[in-house]
Chain A
Amino acid sequence: MKGRVMLFGGLMLVAASAGAQGVFSFDNIPLKGAPSVEVNLGPEMIRLLGPAVPGAAGVPGPLDGLTNVRVLVYEDLDEDMQGVLRYVESTGTKLEGDGWSAVVRVREDDEQVRVYMKPGTDGTLAGVTVMVTEGGNSGEDGDTDGGGEAIFLNVAGKIRPEDLGKIAAGVGMNGVFPGGVPGLPGAAPKAGTN
């Protein structure tokens, strides 16, 4: 993939017991414009979703333990891309200084992916931070036609990676909430009701 940069900067899952140690809020991103996508879910909102994806009997649901999910997406970054790349570099250094481990570093053409994780307890993760940059597509005359993108993901809490993977995998197939969201049209009836 040529000429595209994506910044994924923030999937954070913070367990209640772990407090906010896995949260990274991506402050001071050197961009003037507002993000084209902004998701900011705190513990209260995530708790609302828990009943929609219950776990098996005696097993916590996939969302149990998640406390924060933050996503920021910026588009059309041609002029600002250099500043964003410097921000990604400095953020990576800061995260590693704060006890995060770099688990993914991808540099292909003008595409960069950074994934950082913060270990939690009992084999869980306290936080996952992803930053991806993709440059804009170049035209035949060498000029970019826009489309440079930066994405920041931050998930915090008490994260069980396998659950996170299953949830992410469910998107676009049966959806994260295969039974539907309680209270919304199309929701599956609760067990025990006819």
Chain B
Amino acid sequence: MTQKDLSEEWAWTQLEAWADGSLTGESRARMAAAIAADPRLMAAAERAVAVHRALGAAEPPAMPSGLRRRLLAIPNQAPRARRPFFMPALVSAAAAAAIVAAALWLRPEPAPPVDPRVAAATQDFETAMRYLRKSAVITQGHVESAVGTGLRDAYVVSRDAVARQAKETGG
């Protein structure tokens, strides 16, 4: 299908909007160009405009005299009609509500929504800890001074973990 075909197809779908004036701006200008270029489309557009004008010009039919009074005089029987239906309907509604409640109660608890901030923070924190562990492996036994005792202990834990991991994985 060529671009011209697509344009013509679009124009035929816009006939009603063209006729009732709801097509505006760039679309209206595009439609005008399409109508000018296609005699069949122009004829269809003229018919659509004529129909639209005819519908708009027609006066609404007058309400028969006395109709309003007769409608208001109809006795209201709705309460009597509803009463026998009311209790079974109420029971049915209660039963339906109970079924829905039971279904909701028994349904597995939905997974809590993922907090993207937690996910991002987790990834960042694990990245940081990977580099910390890497530094522990590099420094080996080079931790100096009494101040470093705590960190040395931490690094020993890290190195032991690395060694265990290597042993477990056979690496």
**Which residues of A are in contact with B by a Cβ distance under 8 Å?**
6, 8, 11, 37, 39-41, 45-46, 48-49, 52, 69-71, 73, 101-106, 111, 113, 115, 117, 119, 123, 125, 128, 130, 132, 151, 153, 155, 160-162, 164-173, 175-177, 181-185, 193
Q: CB-CB < 8 A to A155: which residues of B?
A: 128, 132
Partner of A104, one of B115, B121, B142: B142
Stretch at the interface among B25-33, B49-57, B94-102, B155-163: B155-163
- Looking at B151, B152, B153, the one whose CB has the most chain A CB atoms below 10 A away is B151
A48-B121 in contact given A37-B127, A165-B157 (Cβ < 8 Å): yes
**Which residues of B are in contact with A by a Cβ distance under 8 Å?**
109, 111-115, 117-122, 124-136, 138-139, 142-145, 147-148, 150-158, 160-162, 165
The 3 closest A-B pairs by CB, nearest first: A165-B154, A103-B148, A169-B161
Partner of A39, one of B118, B127, B145: B127
A48-B117 in contact given A169-B158, A171-B129, A181-B122 (Cβ < 8 Å): yes
Within the complex, the shortest CB–CB distance from A121 to chain B, in Å, comes to: 13
Task: Determine if B147 and A69 form an interchain contact, defined as CB atoms under 8 angstroms apart.
Answer: no
Partner of B153, one of A6, A161, A170: A161
